[in-house]
A and B are shown apart, each in its own frame.
Chain A
Amino acid sequence: MNMHDGIGYDLITAEILPGTKVLDLGCGDGLLLQKLQNTKQVIPYGVEISEDGVCQCVEKGLYCYQGDIDEGLADYKDNSFDYVILNQTLQITKRPAYVLQEMMRISKNAIVSFPNFGYLKTRLQLLIKGMMPKNVLLPYEWYETPNIHLLTIRDFQAFCTSNKYPVKKEYHFTMSSKGKSCQIRILPNILAQYGFFVLDGERYTNNRI
């Protein structure tokens, strides 16, 4: 997902504690993992669908395997990772509910960020223009988009509540014209361009046992 390169990297980096074990689902060319390795000395792991992405991860020395995100998560033991990251990728997954459930199980923390379909400009594009919304986070034409499970921040909040996923932190952002993320504190489901959640996988998994 080259269009999303860099989005949310600073937020994720700020969130992650040094020396931890991190799995990035849909890690692309491994830039985020490499950044985390260099700045936070994390032990990085990745999953990536494209052969080219994996090849670049191998070059960076990142342990990455080629496959669908939802493929093989079941292999990991409970709480195997400190963080599992799903950065701007949830809406692309074939089975988002399953992926989230597995993330909660295999990791102490699940970091999820996604484009907010409830964002004002997105709503207006549909309402006023009557056409499928497009913006920097949703750059595709309707006929070529990989986004098959679009959602809003409120959708995700409701989903976490109904699945009893403890939300540790949520803070939502809009991109400035320079591409910098600015936090939105009021009416995020209308004013934030993307949602950013940290879920407590450890508490969820331990409560289940």
Chain B
Amino acid sequence: MIPEERLAETVRVEGSWVVATLTRTLGSLDLAEDAVQEAAVAALRSWPLTGVPDDPRAWLAVTARRKAYDVLRREAARPGKESAASRELPGVAADPAEEVAGMAEPDSVVRDDMLRLVFTCCHPALSLEARVALALRTLARLEVPAIARAFLVPEATMAKRLVRARQKIAAARIPYRVPSDAELPERLPAVLAVVHLIATEAHAPTGGEDVARAGLEVEAVRLARLLAELMPGEPEVWSLLSLLLFTAARRPARTGDDGEPVLLADQDRSRWDQGKITEASALLAEAVRRSGGKAGPYQLQAHLSACHSTARSWADTDWDRIIGLYDLLLCLSANPAVALNRAVAVGERDGPAAMLTVLDSLPPLPRSHLWHAARADALQRLGRLEEASHELLGAVDLAPTGPERRLLARRLAGLLPPSGHGQ
């Protein structure tokens, strides 16, 4: 990492903790966000000249707090405005070191502040897309253009989404507090869904030209690590982190030398990141230990990923176990993508005719390009090439990204004999 990048990284990571604490002390996420943004700009301007301070978080906190008080004083001074700033503002010490000492909070308080920030940004009263935007902006501290690019929407749209989300937090008074133990079971899934969606967009982009988005994957893993640090007692948090790492481990093998996607069945498994697989396996074991035998949806998905990650080859995969895990997942929720993957696993265990039967029994609504591609695979293996090519044509039409379209088109070309008809 070049020094400027390392600097920006420090400002980002420390900045989120400062936002967390300032939001509590100022009583406003908006105000805290703006102040930390200004402090970050000041840090990036002065640190290259002065060097990074010993305690960069304290530096950012003091600077941000001063900026916020400036704003509140200006508001209070405006004639005819009754303002939040009319309350007593603590004095600003002449010596910043003294101020830093005065602001020092115990670790447990700082940790709770971050938990408050996490649960506020991921409150179920916000739409999932608003939660994702807030998590990437406020928790991961990505700039708006980067978030807009990640989700393939215009910058203005993403900026508006963030403004609306913050307006809702303020106007509807979404509280800034850690949910009680009793509330946690219904509040935690809303948080995990945000991180999982970011990881999914990284792993399988819903559009564009990338096979996977490494940068977004790093953010998802980082957020999952933060959650594990904040909530070490929650098994599903460990499972989610494990799942993300199993997936990340496969990324080097998912793109061929030509930049095109390589399916799991065809991947060169020696290119999988064994370090990540080892860590993911240990995390999954930890999740199992903590869950006391009650597997949540992320633990089941992590087990599935582990099953693939530890199989020597596609053919060597324990399809019985995979199908069993998919069955358990489907008991938790009827997810069409899970049902489709289960059908593919049935095809590996019981052959293409069984796979076709399962595929055709799935509800007709969510027939994605993946459903058509899976059906084409079953038909091809049954020797019904004409029907298979028909399905592949349908899949090409529905595929959301360029690389997936080209992959399917190549399969289609491979299906048709070179001399064309009459064979």
Q: Do A and B associate with each other?
A: no
Measured CB to CB, the residues of A under 8 A from B are none
